[in-house]
Amino acid sequence: MPELPEAEYMVRRLREAAPGVRITKVRVLRETVAEGALVKGALGGVTSYARRAKNVLIHLETGWTVRIQLGMTGHVYPVGQAGEWPRFTRVAFVLEGGGALVFEDARTFGTVSAVRTEHLAEVLAEYGPEPLDAGFRWQDLRAAAWGLRQEVKPFLMDQRRVAGLGNIWAAEALFGARIHPARRVDSLGEGEWKALHRSVRATLRRAIENTMKVTAGPEEFPEADLLLTRVYGRAGQACRRCGSVVERVVQAARATFYCPGCQER
DNA sequence: AACACGACCTGGTAGC
DNA sequence: TGCTACCAGGTCGTGT
């Protein structure tokens, strides 16, 4: 479930709550980690936190960067007390002075790795543009679909095309743009690309704001009803915009929600 | 190359 | 109460 907005939230929280910390020890509680040996060596002062797509990046003064792929249920957050790990802790970065940065991941789809910072760009090279970058224009979104014929929702979720959208916010962005999720990308007109581009950005911005607002504790993310989704998870309920009944279909082996009234084929 | 789809994993929960 | 079956979905590998 963590998509761009949730990853962004985690990074902002780390910046705020754990600036200038120093990692003195790495505890790997579960070998979900591809490069365990490297991760264990990821020690030293943290210079900054960043996000790329759904990755949380921890830059170290040593020239290493810890890359956290959140997977489905991953959370990274600071805790005050090292040693008493939250239930699903998989990796813990013990900090000088007693605290820790915890990576919790119930379903263990997430991964933690350490990368030489100078090689980070290559490692992340497959990701498409960041949709919230100031330079990301509607033409870029359309260009990302050049030569493709697939359905627009799987397209939006393909990290190589545009980074950061997952199942929830892809559905929400399509609702905002009034585009049916099964429309083929090569059938979208200029006006639809503009609307989609606008909606992707607005949806993600709203999701970040909302997450900042309603997230109570470090590891607690909004329940479905607090996500303020307009179609996701609302099958059988009335569309808030037109009153039609929101539908759930399976697309690319994923649940897709849309309003048949607002999003015509 | 593009695309669809299943596997991976495990906790939560609906249903019996 | 306790058990089973199924669902969630990001990412990767496979087959067409």
Is position A86 annotated as part of the catalytic site?
A: no
CA of A248 to C1' of B16 (A): 26
**Residue type, position A42, single letter:** A
Q: Three-state SS for A56?
A: strand
Per DSSP, helices labelled H in A99-235 are 120-123, 138-144, 152-157, 167-177, 190-214
pTM attached to this predicted model:
0.94
Q: Report the alpha-carbon angle A113-A118-A120, nearest 5.
A: 45
CA of A160 to C1' of B4 (A): 17
C-alpha–C-alpha distance, residues A150 and A165, integer Å: 16
Query: At the topology level of CATH, where does A138-258 sit?
Result: Helicase, Ruva Protein; domain 3 (1.10.8)
User: Closest nt to A55 (CA→C1')?
Assistant: C10
Which one-letter DSSP state was computed for residue A237? S
What is the predicted pLDDT for the residue at A265?
A: 87
A4-123 and A138-258 in the same fold: no
Contact predicate A91/A33, CB 8 Å:
yes
The pLDDT profile of chain A, 265 residues, written as one tens digit per residue, is 789 999 999 999 999 999 999 999 999 998 866 566 778 789 999 999 999 999 999 999 999 999 999 998 899 999 999 988 999 999 999 999 999 999 999 888 899 999 999 999 999 999 999 999 999 999 999 999 999 999 999 999 999 999 999 999 999 999 999 999 999 999 999 999 999 999 999 999 999 998 887 765 555 565 555 678 999 989 999 999 999 999 999 888 889 999 999 999 8
Chain C bases closer than 7 A to any CB of the protein: 7-12
What is the predicted pLDDT for the residue at A220?
A: 57
CA of A81 to C1' of C10 (A): 30
Total Cβ atoms within 10 A of residue A128: 18
Protein residue nearest nucleotide C10, by CA to C1': A71
The domains of chain A are located at 4-123, 138-258
Locate A143 and state its tokens.
Answer: 């260009």
Contact predicate A216/A222, CB 8 Å:
no
- The architecture (CATH level 2) of A4-123 comes to Alpha-Beta Barrel (3.20)
**Residue type, position A34, single letter:** A
